[in-house]
Homo-oligomer: A and B are copies of this chain.
Amino acid sequence: MAERKREKRDPQQRRAEILAAAFACFSERGFAATRMEDVAARAGIAKGTVYLHFPDKEALFTELVSGIATPILGQIDGLAANEAIPPRFAIAMFYTLFKREVLETERRHLLRLILAEGPMFPAVTEFYHREIISKGLGVLRILLARAAARGDLRNPAIAEVPQIVIAPALLSIVWTTLFEAYEHLDTQNLFDAFLETLFVPEGGAK
């Protein structure tokens, strides 16, 4: 009869379990179509229990999307810190990191969620701009300036538009979550080709 066992848990762990369940549900169905009961069921608890840990659906959502981003923050800064690393290599690392940590994990759905639900949750959008985008652009600006100074850029003017570096990453997210079923995109090839376009060929200037 599938008897449900009551089970007390460490609040921290419970919280984490709920967030994990919410992550799965929101990722695959979006905010509006996800029911709190679904989240509870996925976490293996009753609906009421969710409300012991989060005041309401919106709080659960914003907490989730904000929380997921934080671990990525640290890795970004590291890329610009070491001046010995060639800019091209650093940006290649950026794409590799993005591919391994976002594109090829379930996190990609989260990122798409932010694109999708962003306008409904200004607080989330603002958070992402402040904590991820503007920091990321800052790092890229430094890297591109350094590359321009070394004469590594085919077009030094792009040092002023670091968003260009993000464009292929964004495209890869949208493509894989929307169109991959109809037409495959080789993201590695995308990133490689793009890097080769931004930077002068390796053989050229050392």
Mark A residues whose CB is within 8 Å of B: 29-33, 112, 115-120, 125-126, 129-130, 133-134, 154-155, 157-158, 160-161, 163-164, 166-168, 170-171, 174-175, 177-179, 182-183, 185-186, 189-190, 193-194, 196-198
Number of copies of this chain that the complex holds = 2
Given contacts A160-B189, A193-B164, contact A129 B182 (CB under 8 A): yes
Q: A161-B189, A164-B171, A167-B170 are in contact. List 18 more A-B contacts (CB 8 A).
A: A29-B120, A30-B32, A32-B32, A32-B33, A112-B115, A115-B174, A130-B182, A133-B183, A134-B182, A154-B197, A155-B193, A155-B197, A163-B171, A163-B185, A164-B190, A164-B193, A166-B171, A167-B168
Given contacts A30-B120, A197-B197, contact A171 B170 (CB under 8 A): yes
Instruction: Name the residue of chain B whose CB is nearest to the CB of A114.
Output: B178
Bound-state Cα–Cα, A206 to B134, Å: 39
B115 in contact with A196 (CB, 8 Å): no
B115 in contact with A158 (CB, 8 Å): no
Q: How far is the CB of A121 from chain B (nearest CB, A)?
A: 11
Q: Is the interface of A mostly helix, strand, loop or mixed?
A: helix
When distances are taken between beta carbons in the complex, the residues of chain B under 8 Å from A182 are: 125-126, 129-130, 134
| Residue among A119, A133, A189 with most chain B CB within 10 A | A119
When distances are taken between beta carbons in the complex, the residues of chain B under 8 Å from A125 are: 178-179, 182
Partner of A134, one of B31, B167, B177, B183: B183
A158 in contact with B120 (CB, 8 Å): no
Bound-state Cα–Cα, A194 to B161, Å: 9
When distances are taken between beta carbons in the complex, the residues of chain B under 8 Å from A166 are: 171
Bound-state Cα–Cα, A183 to B133, Å: 10
B194 in contact with A164 (CB, 8 Å): yes
Given contacts A125-B178, A178-B115, A179-B129, contact A190 B163 (CB under 8 A): yes
Partner of A116, one of B29, B115, B158, B183: B115
